[in-house]
Amino acid sequence: MKMIETIRNRIDREELDYQILVASLGDYARPRDKISDLLEKGCIVRIKKGLYVFGDEYRRRPYSREILANLIYGPSYISLDFALQHYGLIPERVEALTSVTTGRSRRFFTPVGLFTYHRIPLEAFRIGMDRVEIGDGMAFLVAEPEKALADKLNEIRGSGIRSRKELDAYLGENLRIDPDALKKLNPEKLAEIARRYQSRGIKMLSDLVRGMRGTKKKGVPSA
């Protein structure tokens, strides 16, 4: 099919939006109709309105669900369970791609899986994200390890974690986080995230990690 070959020659990436697709169809009349034809034939797959990936037959490499997560709903970046898995902090495989956003909490069921977005305050959103390069100039935004775990604690707030003992039980029994992995987190980052969230639970997490590392709070002299 000449049209899809033309598009493939003009678009190197696997994830494409409506504007990129229309621009690649500049030689054709009625681009909307052409897009409908491409969808019907399976040349492209609609992830959501205005966002697509190439179909299996025309794919040059795997598409990135992480990049799609950033594009489906924004502003957002990957966090919570998927990010915790990404960093090896939790042992379970996470199928749903989880993100945080400053918009309304949303869920998107797509042909390539479930994408969820959990609303957090703007002050907390602005801290603790990283840009991960995956080659060919492509990158996605993901929470740093400390932020991913803090976001998780915020997500389950109100679940009854009011003491160090309850926090230990949640981290060890519910999330099954390895103590050695927990010890590698930065307590100062966690303390700043706790301040942004105004969260007692995240502050407890900061103190827990600081105790595991045997470090003092900044500004507190050694005895």
Q: What is the pLDDT of residues 7-33, one digit of tens each?
A: 999 999 999 999 999 999 988 889 899
Q: What is the pLDDT of residues 134-192, one digit of tens each?
A: 988 899 999 999 999 999 999 988 666 889 999 999 999 999 998 899 999 999 999 99
Neighbours of 153 (CB within 10 A): 23
Structure confidence at residue 204 (pLDDT) = 96
- pTM tops 0.85, yes or no: yes
Q: Which residue has the tokens 């003992």?
A: 165
Do residues 4 and 43 lie in contact, with contact meaning Cβ atoms separated by under 8 Å? yes
Q: Please give the angle made by the CA atoms of 172, 176 and 178, to the nearest 5 degrees.
A: 85
Higher pLDDT, 137 or 193: 193
Show me where the domains of the chain are located: 2-58, 66-213
Structure confidence at residue 54 (pLDDT) = 97
Residues 6 or more apart whose Cβ sits within 8 Å of residue 86: 78, 142, 148
DSSP state of 110: E
SS in 3 state form for the chain?
A: CHHHHHHHHHCCCCEEEHHHHHHHCCCCCCHHHHHHHHHHCCCEEEEECCEEEECHHHCCCCCCHHHHHHHHCCCEEECHHHHHHHCCCCCCCCCCEEEEECCCCEEEEECCEEEEEEECCHHHHCCCEEEEEEECCEEEEEECHHHHHHHHHHHCCCCCCCCHHHHHHHHHHHCCCCHHHHHCCCHHHHHHHHHHHCCHHHHHHHHHHHHHHCCCCCCCCCC
What does residue 169 show for φ and ψ, rounded to 5 degrees?
Answer: -65, -40
In the numeric block, which tokens belong to residue 120? Answer: 């957090």
- Give the model's confidence band at 217: pLDDT under 50 very low, under 70 low, under 90 confident, else very high: low
Q: What is the pLDDT of residues 75-103, one digit of tens each?
A: 999 999 999 999 999 998 999 999 999 99
Judged by phi (left if over 0) then psi (alpha if -120 to 50, else beta), residue 88 lies in left
Q: Is residue 223 scored above 80 in pLDDT?
A: no
- Give the model's confidence band at 2: pLDDT under 50 very low, under 70 low, under 90 confident, else very high: confident
Q: What is the pLDDT of residues 27-72, one digit of tens each?
A: 888 989 999 999 999 999 999 999 999 999 999 999 999 999 999 9
Q: Span 2-58: which CATH code?
A: 1.10.10
Structure confidence at residue 1 (pLDDT) = 64
